[in-house]
Structure 1
Amino acid sequence: MTSLLPAPRRTRAPRGDRKDTAHRRPLVLLGALAGVGAACSTLVVCLAGGVIGWFLTDAGAHGAPRDGLRVGATGWLMAHGSSVRVEGTVITALPLGLTLLAAVLIWRLGLRLGDSVSGHGPDADAIADGMRDWTVASATGVFTLGYAVVVVVTHHLAATAATSPSLARTLVWTVVLCGVIGGSAIAVGSGRAAIWTSFLPLSLRAAAAAAWRILIAYVAVSAVVLGIALVVDWDGAVNVMSQLHTSPGAATLLIGLCVLVSPNATLFSGSYLLGPGFAVGTHTLVAPTGVVLGALPMFPLLAALPDAGPTPGWTAGLLALPPLVAAVAVYRTLRSYPTSRWDEAALRGVGAGLACAVGFALLAAVSGGAVGPGRMADVGPFVFQVLLHGVATFGIGGLVGSLLATLRHRRSAQGQRDVTITGR
């Protein structure tokens, strides 16, 4: 019991001891506060956006600020996977811009939580010797629980009979976001990830690093292609805005909505570059080999869609972008993981391509959904075909990049040997 008594006022611990004490604060308290903080950070942004949107729509002439708060909270739930009803129509598509913001904040606060709990559990030597360590698992569980509490409270306050947001879908997405992204951040911040990955084979670490670089580079290229397509048909987007006869406030809201769903459009663009393309309504197709469209809603971002009918011959050349991106990314990555064995290099490159294909297919799967009534209930990439094309294209690109990196390494090693022999 004496350990619970406060220390004498004149006693000051050494600086190193104070720092160690700061890293041994109660894990449950730190995890719960981090989870609640991560959830409330994006929730406050959405609530503020809802109030601003309510005011911009008609300068507050109709409704009350609480209506804007409810819309913002519903949007926050949608970013976490909830389906909602809008005038009787079920909307299941996620605004991935908000989801991405939530993921970034979960990662940042997860890193800080990991650093705060790094003093819990066994030390690095004991972990390396195989001692069980539940620090990351416990912190992740408490972090997820704190986040889920905010989700449940928000759902209870924002749900109405007309909107009917799905609590089950939201909780599933909360567990996925906090478990995968938050758990990974906690492992990295606490130093456990560095210890665990040191036991993995070098080839596996090299393939994972290359797969991540391929995915990031390919998403960036997809965003650039989307931006170019939108700029080329900028007049179409402006024409849509003029036909809607929106007020400046409503136009601002519409542009903000375009920004929120731009990550969805980027993944659509990536699916297009892989070949299978995507659908913008039932029985539609947008692919490099052909475009079949029906009636489309008045939405400025849709101006980036190609014209219906046969596509120009040069669009087939866009199919070379995915393997080229994979080859360059793998080549640049594997220069940091050199190997002289051709079979090992091929395994790394192909493995990186396969992992990237699976990762992009998962992202494509969450980018679509129902966005309106009737035929607009089927919008999104053809996920299975995207996976198959990704396996082929990223795999081939990864193989080429890994072989080129190995060839460069072998030539460099041979040149060093020749210099050494000549010097002798």
Structure 2
Amino acid sequence: MTSLLTRPDAARADAARPRPLVLIATLGGVLAALGPLVVLMAVGIIGWFATDAGVHGAPRDGMRVGALVWLAGHGSGVTVMGARVTIVPLAITGIAAWSMWRLGHRVGDSVSGHGPDADRISDGERDFTVPTSILLFFAGYAVVAVVVATLAAGSTADPSVPHVMGWTILMTALVAAPAIAVGSGRAAIWAAFTPPTVRAGAAVAGAVLRAFVVVSALVFLVALAVSFGDAATMTSRLHPSPAEAGLYALVNAAFVPNASLFTGSWLLGPGFAVGGATLVSPGAVVLGPLPVFPLLAALPAVGTPAGWVGALMALPPLVAAVSAFRALRGRALPWDQLALAGCGGGLVAGFAFAVLAGLSGGAAGPGRMRFIGPFVPDVYFHAMTACGVGALLGAVGVVLLNRRANKVWGLPDEDDAAATEPARDPAGD
């Protein structure tokens, strides 16, 4: 009987043996795709039953709707009553990105034992663990996306598989790849070789972008709360049942991130359009007939806004300055590197926001509704200017704070220390 027991040394060897990288990374991509997909399909079934108690159609119809919503979050677009709808519900995209990050981090942690260790990586040994894991993760995710798009396709929906693949590549590069690198520990090793100025600039970029997106969302929510009565009136015009009203609220919630990015473009000055020949900006508001969509109740009244509205355009540079100041405070860098990190990080944050604003728009119906979204070229210029200048001012604030602290403690400034330091003889005398 004792011969059937596993020896302790064999058990330790099995525990130390790393799991197959191909299986871990591919399965991680598959699970990252299936998690949000299964939830949305379940919501689709609940919605199918809640609308008419299952009198019309079958449960697979609700599952198909959930799959189409998941595909729409990956840029597939859908055809509704012959009209092409390409605007992406960014809340669905955010859920998919969160799932990618969580599973990607777990994949990275599971494959951390593969490849060379930290010392050999530092010595310059090639390490293909993270790139291989990223490719396999993408392969697993892409297979699920293609299968779902094929099964959900039909004459009434027609999701675009190339667009889904393009968004999958983008999300893998921006979300899954960093998650795998962080989870595997490689990101910390690579960051150690990065100049301090670059690390500080990256911290500024992340802080400015997060803060500006949050402020834009808060401004939108305040505007929607002020016009909540109009939003409720829009919903009542559809005469929905309580269950249908709840589902309609979920549909609107899926586009709240889009509306927040629209608001950020409005705060920057260029504004956005809600259909052809329309303009919503701090200087003028020109609108036409609008669909019955409660989020549109937050739009300002047609005409020239009040004078105080233009003062809100000071928010983007102010937010950038405060965020850069908080990100750079306490970093032991010379004044020129602090300024470079602040300005460079602000420019990167402005560029990133403009990219997100460009992804937030699209077609929402036929005719004049074929374009809804920010005016992207103008947003690029205004975002990079506002965030770059604001972050530079925040960095200048850190420089002044450091010099004041040095004077209080009787320490010489960096420039003074460099000027008073005796010159050294190259020969060492």
TM bracket (short chain)? over 0.9
Cα deviation, 1:309-356, whole Å, max 9, x if unaligned, reads 010000111000000100000000001423342x22221111011000
Deviation at 1:413?
2.3
- 1:49: which partner in 2? 43
Measure, in 2, the Cα distance between the counterparts of 1:186 and 1:8: 39
Cα deviation, 1:365-414, whole Å, max 9, x if unaligned, reads 11010011111110001111111001111111011100101111122123
Work out which of the residue numbers 260, 277, 283 in structure 2 matches 1:283: 277
Is 1:375 aligned to 2:375, yes or no?
no
Amino acid at match of 1:12: P
Work out which of the residue numbers 12, 20, 24 in structure 1 matches 2:8: 12
- 2:93: which partner in 1? 99
Do 1:122 and 1:131's aligned partners in 2 also have CA atoms closer than 8 Å?
yes
- 1:386: which partner in 2? 379
- 1:335: which partner in 2? 329
Deviation at 1:13?
4.4
Is 1:400 aligned to 2:378, yes or no?
no
Measure, in 1, the Cα distance between the counterparts of 2:384 and 2:353: 10
Deviation at 1:10?
3.3
Measure, in 1, the Cα distance between the counterparts of 2:41 and 2:320: 40
Do 1:339 and 1:406's aligned partners in 2 also have CA atoms closer than 8 Å?
no
Deviation at 1:153?
1.2
Work out which of the residue numbers 78, 81, 84 in structure 1 matches 2:75: 81
- 1:4: which partner in 2? none
Is 1:344 aligned to 2:300, yes or no?
no
Partner-residue secondary structure (3-state), 1:244: coil
- 2:311: which partner in 1? 317
Aligned positions of 1:90-129 closer than 5 A? 90-129=84-123
Measure, in 1, the Cα distance between the counterparts of 2:81 and 2:9: 63
Cα deviation, 1:58-94, whole Å, max 9, x if unaligned, reads 2212111111111111111111110211111111111
Give the 3 Å change call, closer, same or farther, for CA 239–357 of structure 1 in structure 2: same
Amino acid at match of 1:47: M
Amino acid at match of 1:416: W
Deviation at 1:418?
5.6
Which consecutive unaligned segments of at least 5 residues does structure 1 have? 1-6, 420-424
TM-score of the aligned structures, taking structure 1 as reference length: 0.94
Is 1:366 aligned to 2:359, yes or no?
yes
Measure, in 1, the Cα distance between the counterparts of 2:243 and 2:6: 61
Amino acid at match of 1:258: N
Amino acid at match of 2:394: G
TM-score of the aligned structures, taking structure 2 as reference length: 0.93
Amino acid at match of 2:184: S
Is 1:146 aligned to 2:140, yes or no?
yes
Is 1:410 aligned to 2:381, yes or no?
no
Give the 3 Å change call, closer, same or farther, for CA 133–245 of structure 1 in structure 2: same
Give the 3 Å change call, closer, same or farther, for CA 384–8 of structure 1 in structure 2: farther
Measure, in 2, the Cα distance between the counterparts of 1:126 and 1:418: 41
Measure, in 2, the Cα distance between the counterparts of 1:124 and 1:15: 26
- 1:213: which partner in 2? 207
Higher mean alpha-carbon deviation, 155-164 vs 95-104, is at: 155-164
Measure, in 2, the Cα distance between the counterparts of 1:187 and 1:19: 23
Aligned positions of 1:185-264 closer than 5 A? 185-264=179-258
Give the 3 Å change call, closer, same or farther, for CA 16–256 of structure 1 in structure 2: same
Give the 3 Å change call, closer, same or farther, for CA 407–339 of structure 1 in structure 2: farther
Partner-residue secondary structure (3-state), 1:306: coil
Amino acid at match of 1:332: R
Measure, in 1, the Cα distance between the counterparts of 2:9 and 2:190: 33
Partner-residue secondary structure (3-state), 1:279: strand
Do 1:35 and 1:145's aligned partners in 2 also have CA atoms closer than 8 Å?
yes
Measure, in 1, the Cα distance between the counterparts of 2:169 and 2:297: 36
Aligned residue pairs: how many? 410
Which consecutive unaligned segments of at least 5 residues does structure 2 have? 413-429
Higher mean alpha-carbon deviation, 11-20 vs 85-94, is at: 11-20
Measure, in 2, the Cα distance between the counterparts of 1:241 and 1:210: 41
Deviation at 1:179?
2.7
Partner-residue secondary structure (3-state), 1:276: coil
Do 1:338 and 1:406's aligned partners in 2 also have CA atoms closer than 8 Å?
no
- 1:173: which partner in 2? 167
Do 1:338 and 1:405's aligned partners in 2 also have CA atoms closer than 8 Å?
no
Partner-residue secondary structure (3-state), 2:285: strand
Partner-residue secondary structure (3-state), 1:307: coil
- 1:155: which partner in 2? 149
Partner-residue secondary structure (3-state), 2:379: helix
Do 1:327 and 1:400's aligned partners in 2 also have CA atoms closer than 8 Å?
yes
Percentage of identical aligned residues: 50
Deviation at 1:267?
0.6
Measure, in 1, the Cα distance between the counterparts of 2:348 and 2:26: 33
Aligned positions of 1:296-315 closer than 5 A? 296-315=290-309
Measure, in 2, the Cα distance between the counterparts of 1:407 and 1:256: 48
Do 1:121 and 1:134's aligned partners in 2 also have CA atoms closer than 8 Å?
yes
Partner-residue secondary structure (3-state), 1:380: strand
Deviation at 1:417?
2.7
Deviation at 1:8?
7.3
Cα deviation, 1:275-329, whole Å, max 9, x if unaligned, reads 1111000111111111000000011111100001010000111000000100000
Deviation at 1:96?
0.6
Measure, in 1, the Cα distance between the counterparts of 2:361 and 2:153: 23
Measure, in 2, the Cα distance between the counterparts of 1:336 and 1:42: 40
